[in-house]
Amino acid sequence: MSLLIRRCKFDNYWRYPKLANRIKFHELHAWSLTNLIWSSRNFCNAQAKPNILDDRTKKFLDYLANEYKNKSWRNNNLIDFVDLNASGGLLSKRVQLIENIQNLHDLGQQDIEMKKLAEEEEALYNEQLNELDERLLNIILGNMYKDSYDNIIVEITAGVGGQEAMLFAKDLYDMYIGYAKYLGLDYEVIDIEISDNKGIRHASIMISGDQADKFQHEGGVHRVQRVPATERMGRVHTSTASVAILPVPSEIQIAINEKDLKVETKRASGAGGQHVNTTDSAVRVTHLPSGLSVTCQVDRSQDKNKKMAMNKLRSILYEQQLNKQSSFTSELRQKQMGMGYRNEKIRTYNYNQDRVTDHRLGQNGTLYNLPEFMQGGAALEELEDKLYNHVRMKTLLEIVKKLETRSK
């Protein structure tokens, strides 16, 4: 027990009875310095100055704690991403710490003799507050995106660049298949359209497993700069491919009435082997209210093709539903595909310079050894981890910005 607490409790209790009753002393768990360093390293992105970032996040946590204290968070859609089951206990401790700090400040103002001791005690509380805020921020960011799915659909579409764009789409296709294998995930090809030069015009892959969210930041326009195999003059060409990541919701989340569906069967087209091309295994499912149509023909089983087509249809309808929501955090997760233009890129694969650059990460977004990266192993996982932390922090700062605008 500190000197100030003893003095308040025994020597001067008679002088400040009300104040002594107001100060509540709780032992707070001391988190390790390792966790503090880890949190700072992961959450401070390259574009933000640490002192400004700390100040803005402190303001956000102050706002959040005040909303929690007043129980006004229930109708606040800007903070609906905060999981109170995970962070409620820490918010309660934070409210109590702030009250203790304010009481010590008042004590120092009322008694000059106690001022120095109050300042020392306040410094200890501020240290505990900083440690608590690091953990609270960690939990909030960790639970920012509640939509967690074991199944996703990766869609790859060749963009501008003709035949070279299709070859690049095939490279991305192989990279994501390799990444799924590296993560130990299951995958099924729902639909694939192969070009004459063995590239890919469009492909859809169902990926399943508890690490499927490792793909969540791959959505966007990918740009490649290299000398195509068909280029005789040795000139570098720039081509693109678009990637969309669609979560597969459960049947409960997206209910589809059978009477709203038109299911058609036909023979599969293209290369597929004896059984695929000689039976009516291809399935096209049309959702009549929306006009959406999905085709699957990769399996010889009509039932399996229908199941995969329904999963894709459900994903598209879910994505449209998210786009219609007014929730701020939902809006930030949309618009992945773009128009496929070169200037819309989220990532550039430069073969001549043997590097890949993710433009969302600024200076921290460049990795070398491109052939290794294209295998879809540890290098891609490293970049995904950087994006995971960067996007969460960016989202939080956008929310802080919204709160600052609202308060003006």
Given pLDDT bands bounded at 50, 70 and 90, which one contains residue 113?
Answer: confident
Q: Helix, strand, or coil here: 229? A: coil
pLDDT for res 359? 93
Give the residue-averaged pLDDT of 16-39. Answer: 32
In tens, the pLDDT along 303-357 reads 888 888 888 888 888 777 766 543 433 443 344 434 444 456 899 999 999 999 9
CB 119 within 8 A of CB 109: no
pLDDT for res 399? 75
Given pLDDT bands bounded at 50, 70 and 90, which one contains residue 376?
Answer: very high
- Which of 49-63, 89-103, 345-359 bottoms out in mean pLDDT, i.e. has the lowest? 49-63
In tens, the pLDDT along 68-92 reads 888 877 666 667 667 777 788 888 8
Six token digits for residue 396: 């939080």
Average pLDDT score over the chain: 75
Give the residue-averaged pLDDT of 266-281. Answer: 56
> How many angstroms separate the CA atoms of 201 and 192, rounded?
8
Given pLDDT bands bounded at 50, 70 and 90, which one contains residue 121?
Answer: confident
Sheet holding 237-247, edge to edge: 186-194, 200-208, 151-158, 237-247, 220-226, 345-350, 355-358, 366-368
- Which of 8-17, 57-66, 345-354 bottoms out in mean pLDDT, i.e. has the lowest? 8-17
* Antiparallel, parallel or unpaired: β 237-247 and 261-266: unpaired
142 vs 120, which has greater pLDDT?
120
CA-to-CA dists, residue 18 to 3, 12, 155, 231, angstroms: 19, 11, 65, 85
Given pLDDT bands bounded at 50, 70 and 90, which one contains residue 257?
Answer: confident
pLDDT for res 303? 86
pLDDT for res 38? 30
pLDDT for res 331? 44
Six token digits for residue 350: 């430069």
253 vs 89, which has greater pLDDT?
89
- Which of 23-27, 61-65, 187-191 bottoms out in mean pLDDT, i.e. has the lowest? 23-27
Six token digits for residue 14: 């008679």
CA dihedral in degrees (36, 40, 42, 47; nearest 10)? 180
408 vs 90, which has greater pLDDT?
90
In tens, the pLDDT along 160-211 reads 989 999 999 999 999 999 999 999 999 999 889 999 889 999 999 999 998 8
pLDDT for res 299? 79
- Which residue in 220, 221, 212, 217 sits closest to 248, CA to CA? 212
CB 217 within 8 A of CB 347: no
pLDDT for res 332? 38
Six token digits for residue 220: 């966007």
pLDDT at 400 over 60: yes
Task: Choose from 102-106, 115-119, 293-297, 372-376 the range with maximum mean pLDDT.
Answer: 372-376
> How many angstroms separate the CA atoms of 13 and 19, rounded?
9
pLDDT for res 251? 54
Given pLDDT bands bounded at 50, 70 and 90, which one contains residue 109?
Answer: confident
> How many angstroms separate the CA atoms of 100 and 281, rounded?
70
92 vs 234, which has greater pLDDT?
92
Alpha helices by DSSP H, listed for 260-377, are: 274-278, 302-324, 328-331, 370-373
pLDDT for res 5? 39
Q: How many Å separate Cα 155 from the centre of its chain?
A: 18
> How many helices, marked H, and strands, marked E, lie in the chain?
12, 11
CB 249 within 8 A of CB 315: yes
pLDDT for res 322? 63
pTM of the model: 0.61
225 vs 151, which has greater pLDDT?
225
- Give me the residue label for tokens 């293209």: 270
* Antiparallel, parallel or unpaired: β 345-350 and 220-226: parallel
